[in-house]
Amino acid sequence: RGGLSRSGVKDGFAAPDAMVAGTVIVYASAPGKVAADGTGRNGLFTEGLRVALAQKKANLNLDEVLTTASRWVEQKSAGRQTPYVNGPQTLKADFYLAGSAAAEARQAELERQRVEAAKIAKPDPRIAELEARAREAERQAQIEKARRLEAERQAQAAKVKTASEVVKVGIKYQVGDWYLFRDPDDGDVYLWYYGINNAITTAIEIVRDSGGWYKIIRNNKILVVYSSGRTRNRRAFYKKPWKKNRLAKSLASFGSFSISGTEGITYFKFSQTTITITLPNKGKIVLNTDSPLIQFTSSLGRRKQFEF
């Protein structure tokens, strides 16, 4: 329209000083020029847009619409009015109107991408089921392990006597009246003899009481009591290795023992129906297996080796 624009330009609108990125502004007439009202309900430029939009051409983009509208306005105004378009050419060329084949193709591509993205975001239900089964199996395994450990703990705790600590409970290897034990501290193996019959099959416990004394117990009956010196010295009886038809053991140290109520230190070898012990410079002692335990006092001191 005629008159003074906000920019101070007389008779028309002025071009903007700056443009927002991604924006196209269309003016009905060039800057500084007046747009005609036209003869109908709409101005001349609006009529040109209606003509351009009415085209049935496929893949109609914004650039073609504005070009067609501008050409129609110039023809109808005999060149007195030229529409003005301000904006990037690439945007006008890539902007397709709804309903065109290109717009529909673009929409279809966007939908395809959306569907593919949804497939990636949503895992295969079969894989999810297998993973869930694996997690459940692992959980059940952990529960079963916890139950087993608790059962073992309770079984062990049931064997602990009042004010006592169970040091060793396990399988004993019997040859006649001999039993093979493993040291609860260092794992060394020793031979122990109890002077009881050969029919012993029940478990034997080694228990340490609150006073530091060790007790060997069978069927709640104390068989042997020995002092904590056994733990400190760790060498009370003959150690491995075994030798075929012959037993040679190194004696590392003595301890203080009470066997059948008598203090002393005891070393034994079982041979057929007799117990035979040979001591250097003291001859040989042979006793029947039904005899009481053989006992030696601690006055024997240290010996490097006993051979049988």
Shared domain for 179 and 266, answered yes or no, is yes
Q: Is residue 2, in this structure, part of any structural domain at all?
A: no
Which pLDDT score, from 0 to 100, does residue 17 have? Answer: 65
Q: Pick 17 or 284 by higher pLDDT.
A: 17
Checking if the pLDDT of 23 tops 60, the result is: yes
Q: Which of 112, 132, 158 is the last residue of a domain?
A: 158
Q: Which of 132, 158, 184 is the last residue of a domain?
A: 158
Give how far Cα 33 sits from Cα of 1, 14, 29, 82, Å: 8, 9, 6, 9
Least confident of 1-10, 82-91, 133-142, 152-161: 1-10
Instruction: Look up the domain containing 68 and give its range.
Output: 25-121
Report the alpha-carbon distance of residue 102 to residue 91 in Å, rounded: 15
Q: pLDDT grade, residue 196 (50/70/90)?
A: very low
Shared domain for 280 and 196, answered yes or no, is yes
Determine if the pTM surpasses 0.75.
no
| Count of structural domains, the chain | 3
Checking if the pLDDT of 128 tops 60, the result is: yes
Shared domain for 101 and 227, answered yes or no, is no
Q: Is residue 96, in this structure, part of any structural domain at all?
A: yes
Q: pLDDT grade, residue 271 (50/70/90)?
A: very low
Q: Is residue 297, in this structure, part of any structural domain at all?
A: yes
pLDDT digits (tens, 9 = 90+) for 229-268: 333 333 333 333 333 233 223 222 222 223 333 333 333 3
Q: Is residue 10, in this structure, part of any structural domain at all?
A: no
